[in-house]
Structure 1
Amino acid sequence: MLIALENTEILQIHRDDVLTPCKKHHSIEALFSKLFSFGTLGMMKRISEMLEENARERYNIFVTESNGLLQRIRLGDIANYLGITQVSLSRIRSGK
């Protein structure tokens, strides 16, 4: 499930609409290959963080990488993203 912070327009491209120009133009194929690689690496990093890092470290990573979002996101949504309760997030934020 996706939760948008702001009004968002989502576009969907059919697989064939991507593959056809990729077959004709190597540069387009390279572009989409990089885009898919970045997406895959991002998902792998996120899964790794959820499995290997404790809640405090996940919060610190979030603050470091998404600092501009902190003031725009509800604490409940941040807690949900980190896989912890809002009470646990409050404890982490207060340094306890």
Structure 2
Amino acid sequence: MNGTPAPVTGTWVHAFEEDTPAEAVYRPEGHPLPPARRPRRRLEFRADGTLTERRPAPDDRLAEREGRWERRGPGRVAVAFPGGHGAPVAVSVSSAGDRLVVER
């Protein structure tokens, strides 16, 4: 981790209106998003390399799963969830730090 947090640290909220078939788009918590009928997925990246994903469960509450992230170059990280709970994914952050993209 080099002791320096990557620009990915913090909480990101799924802006599904901006998704494409190849990527899911997230915005920093506090970024203005339109109202949504369903809860929005959230990713919380911590400086220690851990993360929490909060995603809508069948009852519309947010279910949590823990994972890890590590830097893979400027503005890029890899995310993995232990115990076979999801395949590793690549994540990139815009140079302005206002858009996080998860590759599908």
The TM-score normalised by the length of structure 1 is: 0.23
Task: Specify which structure has the higher proportion of helix.
Answer: 1
The TM-score normalised by the length of structure 2 is: 0.22
Task: Specify which structure has the higher proportion of strand.
Answer: 2
- Rg: which structure is higher? 1
Which structure has the higher relative contact order (CA within 8 Å, separation 6+)? 2
